Amino acid sequence: MKAEIIAVGTEILLGQVVNTNATFLSEELAGLGIEVYYHSVIGDNRQRLEEALKTAELRSDLVILCGGLGPTDDDLTKDVTAEHLGQRLIQDEKGYQQLLAFFQKAQREMTPNNLRQVLVFEEGIALPNDTGLAMGIFYEGTTDYLLLPGPPSELQPMFLRYVKPLFQEKYQQNGRLISRVLRFYGIGESNLVTKLADLIAEQTNPTIAPYAKPNEVTIRLTVKAEEEQTAQQRLAEVEAKIMARVGEYFYGYGEENSLVEVVVSLLKEQKRTITAAESLTAGLFQATLGDVAGVSTVFPGGFVTYSLDTKSRFLAIDRKLLEKFGTVSRECAEVMADNARKKAGTDYALSFTGVAGPDELEGQPAGTVWIALATPWSVKSQQYHFTRDRRYVRHSAVMAGLDLLRRELLREK
């Protein structure tokens, strides 16, 4: 099964948007046993898109188009592909009702061009969009076509909820393809691959595919087997070999089970609460917690204390201590965490203080970060030296804080 992915949008060619959809789809398709042979990007140009479709169907069994399904005149994907396939565009009734409901709820006028978003191929399968308005389409022919919306927040849920089950049924292989995703924090991709080099070199079935993500690494194990029990046994055998070498960095399974979700789950399970006092991260840790549904049961609130003055006033820290040791110090981090925990009345508190950059602070280079964890029985702290830009330093600090808390929670289990 040969597939190719065509991203449509001039903004991608101009570098205004990063084509993360291709990465996501390639990983997902590999897990389904569908090999992606080509990636391409086409601007909002009717003639060039038509040429790309002609080329694609000569060499691929499945052509996936991302983007260009919106309401404006430069959203050409659906029109060009329909014309290419000789398909009439018809209005999908469920999509239309969803469109009406959206504009009524938003109390906005629906302009006629929005109806373009709910047009589908007469002989195609309409794919609902649970997080947006532009519907997707699957068309089965000599070459199969899949049309997906461009925004990742729409494309990914649509693929996982509707396309993936469809493909699993349609493109059945000899035997079943079953995947298991392992997630690691605290080790880089190059180091992880080095430690697993012989396992990766000798892989056959299951296969071992490492992927680098911001501040973490995932490994997708994929096995092909006739029976579920056999597949799971083979996956478990390979996983055991991997864990024997890099298990200390492992934190969870699955594509969507992120580090913050694992931490919040542990807090709920142990009926523990967390607060935070943030300086350089300026609330990013607390915002990350807030992304998890139901976090209010373990997170009552926290503190953002960017300046020396707010550290003193909000957290009741002695200014003499801050003036003596500075804000980028073990002492500052520990008293921030300890006082935050006591003021919020929580079981744990994390504090973040340091230099996000680009300039140094208090003689400390950019990327210097102190993180402290306060518990009812102790306060511990650790210094980090992160690299790259300001945003990356702040994100790295949040991930490090989450891992500190995760390890503490596991020790107490």
Name, in order, each residue with C-beta under 8 angstroms of 4's C-beta and a sequence gap of 6 or more. 36, 37, 38, 39, 40, 56, 59, 60, 62, 63, 64
Do 119 and 84 sit in the same domain of this protein?
A: yes
How many angstroms separate the CA atoms of 55 and 409, rounded?
Answer: 55
Q: Where are the beta strands (DSSP E) in 22-153?
A: 35-42, 62-66, 89-91, 119-121, 125-127, 136-139, 144-148
Low pLDDT (below 50) residues in the chain: none
pLDDT for 174 equals 61
How distant, in Å, are the alpha carbons of 88, 275, 309, 355, 377 from that of 362?
Answer: 67, 27, 16, 9, 31
State both tokens at 95: 């999509």
Do 148 and 127 sit in the same domain of this protein?
A: yes
Cβ-based burial of 50 (10 A; exposed 0-12, middle 13-18, buried ≥19): middle
Instruction: Find, among 60, 45, 38, 37, the residue nearest to 12 by Cα.
Output: 45
Name, in order, each residue with C-beta under 8 angstroms of 149's C-beta and a sequence gap of 6 or more. 66, 67, 69, 70, 129, 132, 134, 136, 155, 158
Cβ-based burial of 207 (10 A; exposed 0-12, middle 13-18, buried ≥19): middle
Instruction: Find, among 223, 218, 243, 242, the residue nearest to 233 by Cα.
Output: 223
How many angstroms separate the CA atoms of 278 and 264, rounded?
Answer: 18
How many angstroms separate the CA atoms of 117 and 70, rounded?
Answer: 6
Do 266 and 334 sit in the same domain of this protein?
A: yes
Do 188 and 234 sit in the same domain of this protein?
A: yes
Q: Give the domain extent around 216.
A: 176-253
Do 248 and 314 sit in the same domain of this protein?
A: no
Do 219 and 331 sit in the same domain of this protein?
A: no
Do 286 and 212 sit in the same domain of this protein?
A: no
How many angstroms separate the CA atoms of 351 and 333, rounded?
Answer: 6
Question: Domain ends where: 218, 253, 288?
Answer: 253
Name, in order, each residue with C-beta under 8 angstroms of 321's C-beta and a sequence gap of 6 or more. 331, 332, 335
CATH number at residue 195: 3.30.70.2860
pLDDT for 175 equals 64
How many angstroms separate the CA atoms of 213 and 279, rounded?
Answer: 25
DSSP of 123-146 = TSEEE--TTSSPPEEEE-SSSEEE
Q: Which residue has the tokens 């532009």?
A: 134
Pairing mode of beta strands 348-354, 274-278:
parallel
Do 248 and 276 sit in the same domain of this protein?
A: no
CATH number at residue 310: 3.90.950.20
Do 112 and 159 sit in the same domain of this protein?
A: yes
Question: Domain ends where: 128, 154, 170?
Answer: 170
CATH number at residue 22: 3.40.980.10
pLDDT for 173 equals 64
- What are φ and ψ of residue 83, in 5° steps? -65, -40
Mapped onto helix, strand or coil, the DSSP state of residue 122 is coil
Do 188 and 117 sit in the same domain of this protein?
A: no
Instruction: Find, among 291, 34, 317, 305, the residue nearest to 173 by Cα.
Output: 34
What is the tens place of the pLDDT at every residue in 138-170? 999 999 999 999 999 999 999 999 999 999 889
Question: Domain ends where: 128, 153, 170?
Answer: 170
**Cβ pair 77, 135 in contact under 8 A:** no
**Cβ pair 127, 157 in contact under 8 A:** no
Peptide bond just before 206 cis, omega within 30 deg: yes
State both tokens at 157: 């849920």
**Cβ pair 274, 347 in contact under 8 A:** yes
What one-letter code names the amino acid at 395?
A: H
Do 207 and 329 sit in the same domain of this protein?
A: no
Radius of gyration over every alpha carbon of the chain, rounded to an integer in angstroms: 25
How many angstroms separate the CA atoms of 243 and 257, rounded?
Answer: 18
State both tokens at 130: 């649970």
How many angstroms separate the CA atoms of 201 and 196, rounded?
Answer: 9
Do 130 and 230 sit in the same domain of this protein?
A: no
State both tokens at 377: 């029985």
Domain count, the chain: 3
